[in-house]
């Protein structure tokens, strides 16, 4: 007889196998006849899913389909992603997730995650307890104020925590039941959303100042109370709040900010690769950042940590990094600098350098990193100057999306006469220059945060430190082969992301144990066999038997 429980199994994404329930399982669960007679394997189900997806005309339609599949059959969703991550990642995360967030109120089906609005102030712990899982280990939280390069999307930013957490599971095997997406709904300043009858969030302007920070405080404290083993990942906050929030909590609770620390790690991994290509060390270089926001400061801080490991005193390490913002080169004479910019404001004898070309001539960098959102800022003159200063100029236009990139791969390669070492935030296709193949690398944070997350999960880490991101960067650079370097590629191919994530996670997990930050006894006792432990805790997207 079909019981409500049996019916629930068919309609619970985490338990449902659809047509893959075996004959014996159907009999045992009392669901015989609720499915067509044919018993199918995962491979057949995947064929059907791919056919459905192929029939969807746009990336957004495919996103919606995949989102519904996640609600219907979780194992099948992750099996599909795993079957071709380079193809499916752009559909569940960037760039499609950007459009999905912009249209979130219109395309919304079943809700995912937790929405915690200012109206619930004083009741945040109670709202967290409404989540059905008890052992939450990862919370990706946003306030929706700076969604990718798309501005304030308010509560529609939920797509970002949902997408990021899906990649934790798909790329590194963090179990999905351990993951909780959260939006802090503090209002929005997006006027078209406020006027849209389909906007699903609180209809008021953003709350700021003490009231805002008090609310985030309540959230962080409530997480400690309700999910004491959870790591909080802050995501897509503006730099006005991202940097102070990280400073406020990083030494008190298990948390990190991927826009700052994950970006830094993937950029430094690229710099390790570039240094390997040139046969140099990172201390041999001078770094100019075009853009002086949260991504820039995160990257510069991690570079300095590495330069200090390579023997430079802190002051000398900082002196290797120069920042430029919309007003020109930042120097010790620049007025109105934020605290985090002060440490990169150096004495400068040359008066002022208002434009990028003047800054390049003044600083004479060997590495130029773009984190400005200013498209085409690395023009022919700038790249030509970098190429005349350096045998192998390192050019990293990291701004996203593609339309904001400071230059394309083709421009960097062509204008440097094929000598640039290139990586970018957005993807660019392979190209030929003077008969040689170049494969541009994409400094995608997905190389880093799922792996660090898996290490935190496996060890029960009490804190997330910058050193973990540096070790992850080093490990990522080790995955680059000589063949990759031969075609100019300084990141490993995305097709091997699951193996790469496991490799990084084992390294980071070992560091966590060595630094005394692990709480999981199996990790502390099993530090010599970390690869095995990592493998053991990883989620496997195959169906478990329901006969046990």
Q: Should residue 149 be labelled a site residue for ligand NAI when binding is judged by CB under 6 A?
A: yes
Beta-strand runs (E) in 308-397: 321-325, 328-329, 367-370, 394-397
Query: Is 93 noted as a catalytic residue in this protein?
Result: yes
Q: Which of 164, 340, 491, 543 is catalytic?
A: 164
Binding mask 248-267 for ligand NAI (x = CB under 6 A): -----------x---x--x-
- Binding segment for ligand NAI (CB under 6 A), chosen from 174-182, 286-294, 346-354, 472-480, is 286-294
CA nearest 16: which of 1, 2, 35, 3? 35
Q: Which is nearer to ligand NAI, 113 or 291 (CB)?
A: 291
Residue with the CB atom nearest ligand NAI in the bound state: 293
Q: Which of 93, 168, 249, 447 is catalytic?
A: 93
- Binding segment for ligand NAI (CB under 6 A), chosen from 7-15, 185-193, 277-285, 289-297, is 289-297
Q: Which is nearer to ligand NAI, 192 or 326 (CB)?
A: 326
Chain positions 166 to 195 lying near ligand NAI, rule: CB under 6 A, are: none
The residue length of the chain stands at 548
Q: Should residue 307 be labelled a site residue for ligand NAI when binding is judged by CB under 6 A?
A: no
Q: Which is nearer to ligand NAI, 233 or 294 (CB)?
A: 294
Q: Should residue 398 be labelled a site residue for ligand NAI when binding is judged by CB under 6 A?
A: yes
Structure tokens, 182: 């959260």
Q: In angstroms, how far is the first alpha carbon of the chain from the final one? A: 19
Q: Are strands 421-424 and 394-397 parallel, antiparallel or unpaired?
A: parallel
In what side-by-side order are the strands of the sheet with 138-142?
A: 114-117, 179-185, 138-142, 231-234, 255-257
Long-range contacts of 214-220 (CB under 8 A, 24+ apart): 215/118, 215/121, 215/184, 215/186, 216/143, 216/184, 216/245, 218/121, 218/122, 218/124, 219/116, 219/124, 219/141, 219/182, 219/184, 220/249, 220/253, 220/255
Q: Should residue 94 be labelled a site residue for ligand NAI when binding is judged by CB under 6 A?
A: no
Q: Should residue 373 be labelled a site residue for ligand NAI when binding is judged by CB under 6 A?
A: yes
Binding mask 465-504 for ligand NAI (x = CB under 6 A): ----------------------------------------
Q: Provide the 10 A C-beta neighbour count for residue 435.
A: 6
Least distance in Å: CB of 408 to ligand NAI?
15
Interacting residues of 400 by C-beta distance below 8 A, sequence separation 6+: 94, 148, 149, 425, 426
Query: Is 164 noted as a catalytic residue in this protein?
Result: yes
Q: Which is nearer to ligand NAI, 70 or 424 (CB)?
A: 424
- Binding segment for ligand NAI (CB under 6 A), chosen from 18-26, 294-302, 380-388, 532-540, is 294-302
160: left (phi over 0), alpha (psi -120 to 50) or beta: alpha
Least distance in Å: CB of 325 to ligand NAI?
4
> Can you give 204-237 as a three-state secondary structure string?
CCCCCHHHHHHHHHHHHHHHHHHCCCCEEEECCC
- Binding segment for ligand NAI (CB under 6 A), chosen from 279-287, 324-332, 388-396, 537-545, is 324-332
Q: Should residue 108 be labelled a site residue for ligand NAI when binding is judged by CB under 6 A?
A: no
Size of the site for ligand NAI (CB under 6 A): 26
Q: Which is nearer to ligand NAI, 29 or 243 (CB)?
A: 243
- Of positions 142, 257, 366, 445, contacts ligand NAI by CB under 6 A: 445
Report the C-alpha gap between 533 and 536 in whole angstroms.
5
Least distance in Å: CB of 291 to ligand NAI?
3
CA dihedral sign, ordered 187, 188, 194, 198? negative
Q: Is the peptide bond before 401 cis (omega within 30 degrees of 0)?
A: yes
Report the C-alpha gap between 172 and 70 in whole angstroms.
17
Task: Just list the catalytic residues.
Answer: 93, 164
- Interacting residues toward ligand NAI by CB under 6 A: 149, 239, 259, 263, 266, 290-296, 324-326, 371-374, 398-400, 404, 425, 443, 445
């Amino acid at each position: 007889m079909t019981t409500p429980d049996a019916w629930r199994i068919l309609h619970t994404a985490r338990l449902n196998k659809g047509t893959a329930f075996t004959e014996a399982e159907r009999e045992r669960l009392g669901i015989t006849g609720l499915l067509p007679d044919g018993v199918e394997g995962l491979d057949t189900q995947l064929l059907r899913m791919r056919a459905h997806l192929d029939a969807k005309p746009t990336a957004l339609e495919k996103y919606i389909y995949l989102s519904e599949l996640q609600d219907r059959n979780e194992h099948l969703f992750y099996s599909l992603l795993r079957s071709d991550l380079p193809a499916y990642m752009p559909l569940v995360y960037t760039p499609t997730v950007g459009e999905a967030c912009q249209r979130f109120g219109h395309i919304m089906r079943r809700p995912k995650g937790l929405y915690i609005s200012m109206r619930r102030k004083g009741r945040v712990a109670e709202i967290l307890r409404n989540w059905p899982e008890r052992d939450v280990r990862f919370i990706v939280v946003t306030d929706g104020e700076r969604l990718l390069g798309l501005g304030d999307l308010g509560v529609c930013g939920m797509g970002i925590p949902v997408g990021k957490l899906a990649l934790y599971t798909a790329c590194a095997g963090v179990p999905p039941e351990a993951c909780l997406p959260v939006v802090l709904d503090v209002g929005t300043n997006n006027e078209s959303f406020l006027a849209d009858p389909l906007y699903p969030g609180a209809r008021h302007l953003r709350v700021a100042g003490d009231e805002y920070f008090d609310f985030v405080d309540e959230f962080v404290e409530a997480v400690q109370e309700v999910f004491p083993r959870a790591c909080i990942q802050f995501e897509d906050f503006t730099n006005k709040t991202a940097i102070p929030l990280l400073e406020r909590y990083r030494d008190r609770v298990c948390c990190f900010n991927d826009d700052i620390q994950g970006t830094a790690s993937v950029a430094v991994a690229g710099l390790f690769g570039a240094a390997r290509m040139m046969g140099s060390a990172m201390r041999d270089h001078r770094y100019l950042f075009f853009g002086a926001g949260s991504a820039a400061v995160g990257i510069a801080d991690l570079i300095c940590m590495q330069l200090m490991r390579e023997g430079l005193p802190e002051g000398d390490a900082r002196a290797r990094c120069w920042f430029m913002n919309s007003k020109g080169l930042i120097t010790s004479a620049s007025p109105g600098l934020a605290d985090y910019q002060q440490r990169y404001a150096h004495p400068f004898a040359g008066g002022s350098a208002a434009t990028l070309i003047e800054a390049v001539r003044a600083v004479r960098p060997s590495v130029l990193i773009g984190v400005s959102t200013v498209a085409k800022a690395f023009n022919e003159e700038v790249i030509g100057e970098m190429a005349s200063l350096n045998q192998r100029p390192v050019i990293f236009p990291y701004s996203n999306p593609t339309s904001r990139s400071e230059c394309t791969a083709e421009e960097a390669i062509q204008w440097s006469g094929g000598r640039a070492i290139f990586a970018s935030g957005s993807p660019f296709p392979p190209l030929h220059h003077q008969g040689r193949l170049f494969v541009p690398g994409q400094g995608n944070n997905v190389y880093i945060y799922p792996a660090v997350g898996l290490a935190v999960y496996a060890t029960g880490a009490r804190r997330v430190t910058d050193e973990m991101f540096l070790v992850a960067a080093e490990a990522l650079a080790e995955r680059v082969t000589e063949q990759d370097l031969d075609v100019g590629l300084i990141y490993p191919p995305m097709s091997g992301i699951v193996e790469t994530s496991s490799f990084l996670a084992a390294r980071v997990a070992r560091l966590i144990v060595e630094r005394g930050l692990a709480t999981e006894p199996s990790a502390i006792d099993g530090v010599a066999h970390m690869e095995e432990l990592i493998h053991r805790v990883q989620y496997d997207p195959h169906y478990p038997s329901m006969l046990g």
